[in-house]
Amino acid sequence: MVDIPAHRSTDSEIAVGGSIVDRLEVPGDHDWIRVELTAGHLYVFNLSGTGDDPLTDPYLYLRDATGALLTQDDDGGSGLNSRLQFQPETTGTYYLDVGAYENRYGGSYQVDATEIDISQDIPGDRSSTTSIGIGESLVNQLEYLGDRDFIRVELTAGQFYIFELSGSGSDPVGSPNLRLRDSDGAIISSDSSYSSSTSQLAFQAPASGTYYIDVGSRATDGSGGYQLTVNEMDLSNDIPGDRSTTTSIEIGGSLVSQVEYSGDRDFIRVELTADHVYTFDLSGAGSDPLHYPYLRLRNSDGAIVGFDLTYNYNTSHLEFRAPTSGTYYIDVAGRYTENDGAYQLSVGEIDLSNDIRGDRGTTTSLAVDESLVSQLEYQGDRDFIRVELTADHVYTFDLSGAGSDPLRYPYLRLRSSDGAIVGSDPTYNYNTSHLEFRAPTSGTYYIDVSGRYTGNDGAYQLSVGEIDVSNDIRGDRGTTTSLAVDESLVSQLEYQGDRDFIRVELTAGHVYTLDLSSAGGDPLRYPYLQLRNSDGAVVDSDSSYNYFTSHLEFRAATTGTYYVDVRSHFAENDGTYRLRLGEIDVSQDIAGDSTTTATIDFGEAVTGQLEYMDDRDWYRIDLTEGQRIVITGSGTADSPILRDASGAYVAAPAFSYYNSMARFAFTPTASGTYYIDVGARDDDSRGVYGLTIIESDPIASSGNTDSVWGFNNTADTSDFDPTARVDDLVYISDMGGIDTLDLSGFAQSQRISLNPGTISSFGGGERNLEIASNTVIENAVGGSGSDTIYGNAANNVLRGNAGSDTLQGDAGDDILDGGAGRDYMSGGSGNDTYYVDFAGDSVYDLSGDDVVYAALNYVLPYSIERLVLTGAAISGTGNSLANLIVGNRLGNELDGLGGNDVLDGGAGDDVMRGGMGDDTFMVDSIGDRAIESLRGGIDTVISEVDYQLGREVENLTLAGTAIAGLGNGGSNDIRGNALDNYLDGGRGVDILRGGAGDDLYIVDDRDRVVEAAGEGVDSVLSSVSLVLSDNVENLFLRGDAVRAVGNALDNVLRGNGANNVLDGRAGADEMRGGAGDDFYFVDDAGDRVVEATGAGNDRVYARTSYAADANVEDVILRGGGAFDITGNGLDNALVGNADANRINGGAGADTMRGGGGADVFEFRDNSFAGLRPSTSDRIVDFRQGQGDRIDLDLVDADTTQAGRQDFAFIGSGAFSGAAGELRYQVINGNTYVYGDTDGDGDANFLIRLDGAYTLVGGDFIL
């Protein structure tokens, strides 16, 4: 079968309605299949494994005519199969790209292409003309995966409705899902349940008008027939679901009612008494019972204080001990939103007259060898029972359920006299709890009896016993029990946590075996051996976890007393055991250190034996500097080590999955005595081994330079002519530099390993090249055959050249380039770099931070983090990791899939899809697009151009020369740069951060503006009422905004045409209300109010002395302080506070109210209004008792004379015709003060005081 190419040159084609069967030859293979599609039609493509060797976990991609990725699917079909649904926008050629998940698999597959008829489909938007009436049903069809139907319905404000959706017909829709939208199409209610057959919504219309019922499915393959029904709901008898409820229940009473609709809940009042315990029982009732009933209890504030933890289909139960007396609310609902139906509620009380106290105040006690039967009366109850224990005695405590209503999951804890827990049962047994305890001190303890889970209550039986430990072997060095070699001992761990110390006498240099095993009818489980020296320090231990046995082999370093520490791996295990001490004959053992007398010569083959675990045999040999040796081990000698005269490590075989021989080469740098240390990699291995050492002369060697070995060799490696040495055993010894093994001139398939001490095959020869064990070659170059190249622990560069090569790195940061052909590359550990230039190349890596440079459209394997497109590559696709995907200078299409990805298209107009995860998009062109999927994480665009966020992208950061940053309908975080930015979050609750520069913010919701100190002069243009954030200077209202509040800076606040409230707060603020009746708050002497003529009736609330700015009508003092307020030329209303104020109305017919305190109402020349009561200045609350006075000191009493003259108060009498007289008169309950300043007997000014007063001269300042 000819492989289908993975590019647009493919000859493979599928017709709509047809199928194709083919095969992915190897993991990483992709097949492209051409298909012709028509714009606006809807197609479904299914990919599945087939045949005897089916493709595992197929993965299907769809690409446009240029090869750019349009969409993809992993498991959208049945099982792990793929299913893609697509509606093209243009007619033409497309490509189905067949692959496997993460490029892991090959195998046979089948592709099916079908078209779905959507000619009768109901539109899934507000263009729909399909409607349904109240009380009606509608039957229709969801034609395809993801299809949604919008059905219009007219609803009336305040009326409750129930919407029900279910599958219908022979192919019913699965997991139907209802959503309700308003006339603008916004979702206002949705069914949050996940029922496989029905969906239900209850809704109270907030306004009359058109709504849209949005019908869909939650299932991945959700299409099929449905029936939709709409009905009104009668809620006249519904119990309110809040604290306004008037429905109540008595203790001992019952109530039957109804949860009327999905999401409904009922609040029922109940009066409870402190420290009493109550039961609440809720169950379904009647023919339409409430399923999964759910009880919660709330206090008088509505806070939840108790709830049922279970998920029972028919009942809900709650027990509660009231902390305080008073009103509580029983909150009745269904466990799931979709649950509704009839219920019965009952409230009872538990008799606690016999309850055992659950603290140290208990009076209930229990003696050793006695039992007690009692009860946990309610959920969460616990009983404390006193018990007297004696130091160093061991006790048993047994708790079990009892009677017809037994305690389940009983739980024992033991507490000291202080109440601290000193022991507890770690098990989770349904019927019993058991505890064993060795008392450290004599005295009172408390047995704490409870259920393992809060919901457990019921009857129990508690027993206390004592274990006879008179024959117990001591668990420390005071033990008197001993064991001799070749003897056995049978004994017992008597209680949980017990351990036995057995003395043994060992002789230095002898090897001993210790075997511990379960024994008897009550055997010790998981026995555990440790061996301790005479000081008690552990010198050996068994690390295995065997259920029945524990084994140790030990070579005694010194002669003397040791202690065998017998116990279990787990503290709760006790029981009978058998212990045996044996000895291994090591009289013929070769010493495992430099005291050895064993030797080996060149060409000699020796045979030996590893007698015991961890045994090692050392052989002495004399080596000469520069002498090439090869050491080979066999049998149990699978880990020979070469050591120097001091015993220090020198060399050993390089073990990996590609080289497991116990053979290595070495060239000493110094002459002298060496040791070959023979042992097993598995230290437990024992048995016969073989060992040989041979001498071999090197064919090539080099100094400390950057050498090239093989083709293109450097001068220092000229001895290695690769074509002439194929039949030889080439030995490379290189002392330094960055070196390369170049075997590029061969067409044969070669196996090359750069690991020191390993053998390679090159140029068609077998095992004909060896790298010395002390030599590091960093780089390798293959030929035109299918080569296998292994790296080493260094940072390797591995190049395969032509052929289908396998490149395998190791530790280190490797570079792997397979060259032409279908290559397999794996970097091993380290941060590796791969170069991919063929669709069949495979990359496999499980560790490090790795990158692929791809010269063609590429999908990252599942374990690679980064992708860089090169050459003519267009498309780059990530995986489930946090990827960095970088484009080239073309218009790229980048898709991050899962993970927190960074996508950077580079130059060109790029399309970047983040997929799931918190993704970052780098934008540098106005044609770049950042696309996110629904619920695709918290995503960020970093843009060097002006940018508006697309749907589902949350954050935007401006970089470079970008000025404008615009949000979307979500809640965005938008950050500017150091320029003068324009930031507009759009709809949603946004965070806007301008940074340095004079920034302009557009606020339209509960947006938050963030500025640091000294970052320019910033302005907010807000369509909602707003309090300025710190460090923002200016606020301008627009739209429906009413209130503008400043901060501690010198702010500029501007209103709109509405009745605005402007409050600059601290700082010298400028406030401009504009049209409308505006309120200003002045609290700084530097505050300034700017109003235009005729721009409404405006008012200032001042916390400081204030003179009304032009066109401000009213001034009112707030807070405390003896402040002055002054009017302007308008008819002002001036109001003081509770302190002594000076109030001056200025020109105009002013109304003045002093408030509390001794106020002074000040008048000046030319500040008086008219001479009629309706046009004169007016004092509303002149209070003589508080010391209020009228100040006329600045008014010239006699205008006929030069200078300023004082008034003469004449009481209530008539003017005499002398200038400067001041009088008052009470008319119709109000007091009027008149002044004659020209002596003609007529008043020249009038001041009105509300109320009748008898004025005296002291009421004035004249």
**Alpha-carbon span 646 to 667, nearest angstrom:** 18
pLDDT of residue 718: 66
Residue 106 neighbours by CB under 8 Å, 6+ apart:
23, 24, 25, 26, 27, 29, 55, 100
Give the domain-ending residue among 467, 497, 524. 467
Q: How many domains does the chain have?
A: 7
407 and 459 inside one domain: yes
Q: Which of 669, 642, 625 is nearest to 757 (CA)?
A: 642
For tokens 């078209």, name the residue.
115
pLDDT of residue 657: 35
Residue 654 has pLDDT above 60, yes or no: no
**Percent of the chain's residues with pLDDT above 90:** 72
pLDDT of residue 861: 87
pLDDT band at residue 816 under the 50/70/90 scheme:
very high
Name the more confident of 332 and 635. 332
SS (H, E, C) 695-717: ECCCCEEECCCCCEEECCCCHHH
Name the more confident of 76 and 1200. 1200
Residue 36 neighbours by CB under 8 Å, 6+ apart:
15, 16, 92, 93, 94
1205 and 1170 inside one domain: yes
1147 and 1260 inside one domain: yes
Residue 967 has pLDDT above 80, yes or no: yes
346 and 381 inside one domain: no
Residue 717 has pLDDT above 90, yes or no: no
1262 and 1161 inside one domain: yes
pLDDT of residue 567: 95
Span 253-280, mean pLDDT? Answer: 93
Most confident region among 241-245, 708-712, 914-918 by mean pLDDT: 241-245
390 and 424 inside one domain: yes
In a domain, 4, yes or no: no
In a domain, 492, yes or no: yes
Residue 158 to residues 134, 203, 206, 242, 385: CA-CA distances in angstroms?
Answer: 15, 10, 6, 18, 60
1153 and 1262 inside one domain: yes
Residue 413 has pLDDT above 70, yes or no: yes
Name the more confident of 545 and 1125. 1125
pLDDT of residue 1224: 97
Residue 154 has pLDDT above 90, yes or no: yes
In a domain, 951, yes or no: no
pLDDT of residue 1208: 95
314 and 397 inside one domain: no
Span 274-287, mean pLDDT? Answer: 95
pLDDT band at residue 658 under the 50/70/90 scheme:
very low
Residue 853 to residues 818, 825, 836, 904: CA-CA distances in angstroms?
Answer: 12, 13, 6, 14
pLDDT of residue 220: 57
pLDDT of residue 310: 85
Q: What token pair was written down for 805?
A: 């090569």
pLDDT of residue 390: 97
1259 and 1170 inside one domain: yes
**Alpha-carbon span 1240 to 1217, nearest angstrom:** 5
**513-523 pLDDT, tens per residue?**
999 999 999 99
Lowest mean pLDDT among 458-467, 604-613, 677-686, 761-770: 677-686
pLDDT of residue 694: 81
Q: What are phi and psi of 1062, to 5 degrees?
A: -120, 125
pLDDT of residue 995: 93
In a domain, 163, yes or no: yes
Residue 1049 has pLDDT above 80, yes or no: yes
Beta strands in 1050-1168 (DSSP E): 1052-1054, 1061-1063, 1070-1072, 1079-1082, 1088-1090, 1099-1102, 1106-1107, 1114-1117, 1124-1126, 1133-1135, 1142-1144, 1151-1153, 1160-1164
578 and 689 inside one domain: no
Q: Model-level pTM?
A: 0.49
pLDDT of residue 511: 94
pLDDT of residue 1: 59
pLDDT of residue 987: 84
Span 228-236, mean pLDDT? Answer: 90
Span 100-110, mean pLDDT? Answer: 90
**Percent of the chain's residues with pLDDT above 70:** 97
pLDDT band at residue 397 under the 50/70/90 scheme:
very high
In a domain, 402, yes or no: yes
Residue 208 has pLDDT above 60, yes or no: yes
Give the domain-ending residue among 467, 495, 518. 467
Residue 583 has pLDDT above 90, yes or no: yes
1170 and 1241 inside one domain: yes
Lowest mean pLDDT among 634-648, 698-712, 1234-1248: 698-712
pLDDT band at residue 611 under the 50/70/90 scheme:
confident
In a domain, 875, yes or no: no
pLDDT of residue 660: 41
Q: What is the CATH number of the domain that holds 159?
A: 2.60.120.380
103 and 151 inside one domain: no
Name the more confident of 13 and 25. 13
Tell me the residue range of the domain where 1198 lies: 1140-1262
In a domain, 838, yes or no: no
pLDDT of residue 807: 94
Span 1182-1198, mean pLDDT? Answer: 95
In a domain, 1248, yes or no: yes
